[in-house]
Amino acid sequence: MTNAEMLLPHAALARALQEKILAKLPLALAKGRALNFIPYTVRDGEWAEGPFDRICWWTNGFWPALMWEAYLLTGEEPYRLEAQRAEEMLDEAFRDIDHLHHDVGFMWLISAGAQYRLLGTDASRKRMLLAANLLAGRFNPAGFIRAWNGEENAGWAIIDSMMNLSLLYHATDLTGDPRFASIAMRHADTAMRCFIRPDGSSNHIVVFDPRTMAVLDTPAGQGCAPGSQWSRGQAWALYGFTLSHLHTGRADYLATARLVADHFIAMAKQNDWVPKCDFCQSPDDPLVDACAGAIAASGLIELARASGDPRYCDSGAHILRALDERCSDWSASSPAILTRCTGSYHGNDHEIAMVYADFFYVEAVRKLLGDSFLFW
């Protein structure tokens, strides 16, 4: 089916959500534009920053990315100016190498990368390529991009990194140098082999022997228990394999994205389309992660476009509707849209707003409206 045919049944939902988003984004901007930090969550009705790592906090690219989303939806200059101001604030992170990590794609692909691709800004191209070199530098030639820092983590890889691979694919497109894409594919191949289980669920973390690639452990990570299914990790896998397919044309990445998506859909349906924080948590445990839902919705709409299968678009729309009805704050009392996001199952950040949840929500709605610009 064509993308336009798949989107047609959801046109009224897309327009209704667009209207609500356009009414809310001016408040997000008004409360964010004068800050000397980059918003992460909301406390007492005001934007608040990430809990540690200051400018290197891994979600800091999502604020400028949200502003680019707003600019794409409205064409209004104040959003562009705030996206550019935040991108410049991020330059300080390039000088804090001890705190930079595997999430440099989240930080620079959707901020500088978006600006370069939308406006052709040369300084943004340089930032994007510097970030791609930092990510490539984290590659262990045994076959994976390592997560986090410190000697004790030398063999750690996480499913989240599937989303950062797009930075490397774009770097190859920009420079003509195949090394970046080849690192991305080596990592994706490892993730396909060592993270994804036969039922379509994924480990969050795999600990390898950094020399031999022997699997040493698969800890719970941000999920509830070893062997469990942290829903945001499942969403990163769904969207990440879809993106690796889009950048490489490889059928095995598409098949993996579909396997993960089918499992995600079955699990999300069990809770009326708002994903539990971990698909293996106790059935009486009500903890959800609206952010996992927003990431998955955007990934599913992309997967529908890539595969021509309308079930994925329909499921993405179900999630967006459920998030609107049960996990959103459209009032003026908070600058953020989504509520009920979870940092990690065992952490303290439960039932909070998160700037990246709003980014993926707005991205998904923009796709449902038929816009095809892809930040990734």
Nearest residue to ligand GLY, scored by beta-carbon proximity: 160
Among positions 280-339, residues that touch ligand GLY (CB under 6 A) are none
Rounded to whole angstroms, the Cα distance separating 37 from 49 reads 6
93 vs 313, which CB is nearer to ligand GLY? 93
Q: Is 69 near ligand GLY (CB under 6 A)?
A: no
Binding mask of the shown chain, residues 228 to 247, with x at each position contacting ligand GLY by CB under 6 A = ----x---------------
Element (H, E) at 268: helix 251-269
57 vs 68, which CB is nearer to ligand GLY? 57
| Distances in whole angstroms, Cα of residue 224 to Cα of each of 49, 58, 272, 275 | 26, 22, 21, 14
Closest approach of ligand GLY to the CB of residue 217, in Å: 19
In the block, which residue shows the tokens 């599937």?
162
In the block, which residue shows the tokens 């698909």?
279
Give 43's strand partners.
46
| Cβ neighbour number for residue 34 with a 10 Å cutoff | 7
Closest approach of ligand GLY to the CB of residue 222, in Å: 6
49 vs 160, which CB is nearer to ligand GLY? 160
Q: How many residues bind ligand GLY (CB under 6 A)?
A: 5
Residues with Cβ within 8 Å of 276's Cβ and at least 6 positions away in sequence, in order, are 231, 267, 285, 287, 288, 289
203 vs 222, which CB is nearer to ligand GLY? 222
80 vs 138, which CB is nearer to ligand GLY? 138
Binding mask of the shown chain, residues 22 to 61, with x at each position contacting ligand GLY by CB under 6 A = ------------------------------------x---
Phi-psi region of 239 (alpha: psi -120 to 50; beta: other; left: phi over 0): alpha
Between CA 299 and CA 288, with CA 188 as vertex, the angle to 5 degrees is 40
Closest approach of ligand GLY to the CB of residue 58, in Å: 6
Binding mask of the shown chain, residues 125 to 164, with x at each position contacting ligand GLY by CB under 6 A = -----------------------------------x----
Annotation marks residue 44 as catalytic? no
Tokens at residue 165, please? 């691979």
Annotation marks residue 358 as catalytic? no
Closest approach of ligand GLY to the CB of residue 359, in Å: 13
Strand 41-43 relative to strand 46-48, pairing: antiparallel
- Catalytic-labelled residue, pool 53, 160, 289, 324: 160
232 vs 318, which CB is nearer to ligand GLY? 232
Phi, psi of 45 (to 5 degrees): 80, 5
Residues with Cβ within 8 Å of 346's Cβ and at least 6 positions away in sequence, in order, are 220, 222, 224
Residues catalogued as catalytic: 103, 160
List interacting residues with ligand GLY (CB under 6 A): 58, 103, 160, 222, 232
